Amino acid sequence: MTQIPSYRHDLGKGLYLDAFSLDPKVNTTELAAKVQSLDGRGRLDVQNLASVIDNIGYFQSLSEFGVEPVDKDYEVPGRLKPYRAALAQRLDSGRQFNGPIAIMQGPLQRPIRLFREGRYYDYQATALNNIPGELLPQLLDSDAENLFIGRFPLAPTIEKFRARYDPRLEDRFVAKTMEEFLKTNGFSPDTISRFRGKKVGELLMDHYEEFSRAFDIEVREIQELQRAAYPRDKTVKQLLADSGLGIGDAARYLAFAFIIMPENGNQVSFVYRSPNVGIAKDCMSISGSTPPFTPEIFKPGFNLGFYEQSHLVSQMGHEYGFKEGEYEINGIYALDDKDTIPHLAMKIKTPQSAEYIAQRIFGNERAISEHPILFSLNPQALGPVIERFPMWPSSAYVFHLLDRDSRSN
């Protein structure tokens, strides 16, 4: 096995937080500095979290969660539709993907009620703590070529493009560069020269007619965003309230979260999340996944045990290097986080050690893209870590429940 960078952080009273770098670019010194810089920055009051996170109960398996389909698609509230359309520009270019997700109707309950169709960008456009008023200046300050032509980083082929992006934008993808796109569409060398290296705001102001003709779809979306006049200080949650709506009108998708429990539950493992992921960015958190929407939910008797095979096996493989038979679900907390998303936090027990897991996925680009650091601790250290380290709120609450339950057993 490869010797990987690791660091043991002393929590006092014989307790430790072990950290393992999964990224070959991060050495032991840098790993230690990162962990040390986080200690003492905890600001969460777990008791307050209970007011925004409903604990629905503790279950043994995903098959206990039946599904009741809602016979309609999810639709973003009208006030947020201009934001939803223009937001796709930034999300596409930021290496995100508008895949199908399981959007819930109403609170987390059994059976879970899921809309017929919903998309990840619907969630991003209605994420309660997002501030729509911040998007317009971001887009206007963006390099036009990077935003409109370099918008498709997850599409190495035309087949991948057609599976992931707006089909109306195929000519942008095919062109690859601003110059080629403009030339193909009959624009003069002078126009090509004027567009080169410019920001979106500059081109809208100085060359509006040509720019809007070249990029008609994107310019219309930005103009609708301008007309929406979202305040710079209001969150999605506040905008919904102003329209007489509530969090139940947001695209709250069902997520899975993974409490990895190495050494047959004698350790608890979690991660430091990458800044490039769609939720819980750049923080200490348990890992997770978005179970894809499937037409299977419309079949009588469908339950979430369906995901224990293809989806869960895939996630455990690419995030932790697990093969089937190397782990088991050992209980599930069902939590309805009214500030973010509802999720099922699964205790994933494995006989492997955290160090062994880290060694197996060291240098794995897909794992690193989601979490570059793996942590492990004795369950007795959960309390000190929650108190002292900055953690994604719902993950801190999961650890609070795990700590409570481990002390009562």
Span 47-96, pLDDT tens digits = 888 888 999 999 999 999 999 989 899 999 999 999 999 999 999 999 88
Percent of the chain with pLDDT over 70: 99
Tell how many helices (H) and how many strands (E) occur in the chain.
20, 12
Q: Which helix (H) or strand (E) holds 183?
A: helix 178-184
Whole-model pTM: value is 0.85
- The predicted model gives 364-377 an average pLDDT of 90
Token representation of residue 389: 């380290």
Q: For residue 349, give the 3-state DSSP assignment.
A: strand
Query: Cα(77)–Cα(252) distance, rounded to whole angstroms?
Result: 13
Considering only residues 208 and 297, tell me which one the structure prediction assigns the higher pLDDT: 208
Structural contact between residues 165 and 218, judged by C-beta atoms closer than 8 angstroms: no
End-to-end CA, the chain: 36
pLDDT of residue 51: 87
Structural contact between residues 7 and 35, judged by C-beta atoms closer than 8 angstroms: yes
Q: Domain spanning 6-65+250-408: which superfamily?
A: Nucleoside Triphosphate Pyrophosphohydrolase (3.90.79.10)
pLDDT tens column, 156-190: 999 999 999 999 999 999 999 999 999 999 999 99
Average pLDDT of the chain?
A: 93
Q: How many residues does this entry show for the chain?
A: 409
Query: Cα(377)–Cα(385) distance, rounded to whole angstroms?
Result: 9
Burial level of 114, CB count in 10 A (0-12/13-18/19+)? buried
Region of poorest pLDDT, from 37-51, 195-209, 227-241? 37-51
Query: Cα(275)–Cα(365) distance, rounded to whole angstroms?
Result: 14
Structural contact between residues 174 and 149, judged by C-beta atoms closer than 8 angstroms: no
Question: Which ranges in 256-392 belong to alpha helices (H)?
Answer: 262-265, 310-320, 354-361, 365-370, 382-388
Q: For residue 129, give the 3-state DSSP assignment.
A: coil
Query: Cα(222)–Cα(144) distance, rounded to whole angstroms?
Result: 12
Question: Strands 67-70 and 112-115: what pairing?
Answer: parallel
Question: Strands 268-272 and 53-59: what pairing?
Answer: unpaired
pLDDT of residue 368: 86
Question: Which ranges in 119-164 belong to alpha helices (H)?
Answer: 120-126, 135-140, 144, 158-164
- Please state the domain extents for the chain: 6-65+250-408, 77-96+120-247
Nearest to 304 by CA among 102, 119, 107, 115: 102
